[in-house]
Structure 1
């Protein structure tokens, strides 16, 4: 590959090289940009390393433009970055690092390019291209990163045991890169991950979940999760998912392996959505099966109530993993709780009332719920899968028909609690809630239409039975 021609296409490389020459700084573009350039993957992040002060170089580059260029300086880390249109450009001085056993924060010293490359996580991220005039476009690849890209291999540039002990987050990054690029992990490197897996305990949950979410957002996240499981990394932070693995048998009755079923559901749903939280719902939908597993002589293995138990588990897992405790958590919780409901409606005899209740409970997320339910059909019997999917088509058509007729998605009872209190001169009390609930139930059962007139007529009848009189 002609790197000089590739760099010439983007003005910033020549500019940085010219300024670096004026300052007498040996300077390179390094890391992910070089990797993605060779892989022909789009990238808007550029990292420059110079043998000297990256901050001074960044300041000089920012001042070289006729217009204002935002500059952020992080003196504690010896880095600076500028934003140029949609480019994120970072500058750092070449450095060498050493670590103490109890921390993943390095002791940093100025270093050479070679020492800077040695400290990097993987060979494919340790390549550099010179931007200085005399060596412009020359590739420095001391650890055969190009060869590893061709072999589709993730490998550490130095001893993997030291690499992962120094910074255990690199183990998550190894699997993330393998999942994103669909690469293999070199055997010695993977052995290093397995050996050092317990070291992940010193890494913050925020850093772990950031890498995990990137794995979940890949085209086929099951590959990343299998690597996490086999390496014992998953055991360090997500034991509930690990517990899904395995098959119990009594006589000739067994249940499916819910870990691998979950991964298949996850892959299935990824074919239809990039929504991270819908993918999380796929991960969590059967999370309570180990806790609800029972054996019945007549029917075999059961998991009664796993959808409700799973929904109750969601907040605790989200809190521990440092996932957002907001509407996104509630969305996942709702889908976990409701994921069996559409399956129960797979019948030609499904009632409008059952559809109305589903629409009321799922609200605007009913389409996502149906996407999850379709992904949940993982039988090896293709005829069975086709039959279930065909039945889901009928349910979805029924949802459209009932919604058009009754408009119950996200509906609120047409008569509010405040109105009930005003009409009958009541204080907030149990009876107000009971009246509201009975009106809601009558609408969902199709006994009255979803409008104020019919709701008020019913309210007066219900109130009369309870001995209430209008003021």
Structure 2
């Protein structure tokens, strides 16, 4: 007996679509994520997919005409779809179709089809679930691939043979891993093997689409699930080889280093508990990528990763460019976090001076709190005493940052004395001396020689200028 879920369709928009479709004599169904998330009790999605056994564009236009305010219909003829924005919902209408693929493209050849044809072309059984909007069986669940059972058992499975599903559209490999991460489901064994077998097919997918899935994995509650699966299937080596290069432990003369790949995944999970900031999560993912190219063994001191932060920051730019990630302030933020990722760690291990704190705040600027969050996430030791000590040390650094900032106002530092004032005071034209004096004032403030105040900075400027052999305008 087929189950009915009319309670899923309480929003008036569904009865509206049902009435229009009935009048036009076509069958309509709500399918995919809306049905899946209703059955998982994951809240109400705002994106709703409607399958029409007929023209989805025609039904969308007629539905829009029947709604208050007659919302605009955005038609995408190439895809045979139409979109309506109604209240807080986005409704996408598409005609039921069947698809076939060429080997070198994920763009299908599309033909009109039945609801079952449309369900077959879906990526996973849990996304092939449909609820009828037809008056005769309103709210009835249509589940030809036993998606309900896979929901109950928390399984990601393809409706057709997985090798066909993934070879046809290799982005589905990323989607399988993304859904497994977001829902904490398991990918069916045959499906996981098929992803490994077809991993090279990911190369026909655009970087933008791959990054879209990576973002969703990174923004999930436990991103390591996804990155572990990407690693296990071999996809990660193709997409982000900078990460897989960190994997492994070497031993020379009885000395080992930690596995920086698995450490990185722990850091990403840690930071996911502290922030939803996507770009800070990217910084956590990439904070150690400079360790693979800088790894060296020194007989006296053991394993070293000299200047890995500097090398890693340069690698961020190349990675972002290759993956077509934004090369704007977001990239610069990730670079800065990677470059500075060890600075607070060093400060937490010694008797931190006000001068060192001032320099940290000066260099990090508005992102000093983000930097501290990253460093706290970097604590992955399993030794409870060490963990407690490191966390307490970082609390001390945070407290000192607050004290120094309140007193010295170093964040987003602007010199109390401008270049123009230096020029007029010493009757100078633009020259090297101006930069030397400005830098000397900044260093004196950061070192705590003078307070970050105008009078103190002006007096320092006068003495510095005279020491350089410059004459004050009023004294000439």
TM over 0.5: yes
**Deviation by residue 1:342-370 (Cα, 9 ceiling, x = unmatched):** 11112562111001001101111111111
Normalising to structure 1: TM-score of the pair? 0.98
Counterpart mapping for 1:158-307 below 5 A: 158-307=160-309
Structure 2 gap ranges (5+): none
How far residue 251 of structure 1 moved from its aligned partner, in angstroms, is: 2.3
Match of 1:35 in 2: 36
The equivalent residue for 2:387 is 385
Residue of structure 1 aligned with 2:403, choices 401, 404, 409: 401
Alpha carbons of structure 1 residues 297 and 348: separation in structure 2 relative to 1, 3 Å: closer
Shift of 1:4: 3.9
Provide, for residues 169-227 of structure 1, a one-character-per-residue CA deviation record: whole Å limited to 9, x for no partner.
01000000000000000011111100110010010000000000000000000000000
Q: In 2, Cα distance between the equivalents of 1:270 and 1:75? A: 40
CA contact under 8 A between 1:97 and 1:107: conserved in structure 2? yes
Select between 310-319 and 382-391 the one with higher mean Cα deviation. 310-319
For 1:156 and 1:37, the matched residues in 2 are separated by 20
Query: How far has the Cα of 1:2 moved from its partner?
Result: 6.2
RMSD: 1.3
CA–CA separation in structure 1 for the residues paired with 2:388 and 2:87: 49
Return the alpha-carbon distance in structure 2 between the equivalents of residues 262 and 387 of structure 1.
21
Name the stretch that deviates more: 18-27 or 457-466: 457-466
Q: Which residue of 1 aligns with 2:13?
A: 12
Give the aligned length. Answer: 471
1:410 paired residue among 407, 412, 415: 412
SS where residue 274 of structure 2 aligns? coil
State the 1:8 CA deviation.
4.2
Say if 2:465 is the partner of 1:449. no
State yes or no: 1:363 paired with 2:357. Answer: no
1:271 partner SS = helix
Structure 1 counterpart SS, 2:198: helix
Which residue of structure 1 lines up, in the alignment, with residue 151 of structure 2? Answer: 149
Instruction: State the partner residue of 2:345.
Output: 343
SS of the aligned residue for 1:49 comes to: strand
Structure 1 pair 64–221 and aligned structure 2 pair: CA distance change class (3 A): same
Partner secondary structure for residue 294 of structure 1: strand
* 1-structure distance, mates of 2:69, 2:135: 25
Which of 78, 96, 99 matches 1:97? Answer: 99
Contact kept, 8 Å, 1:7 with 1:13, in 2: the verdict is no
1:460 is aligned to 462
Equivalent position of 1:69 in the other structure: 71
Partner of 1:25: 26
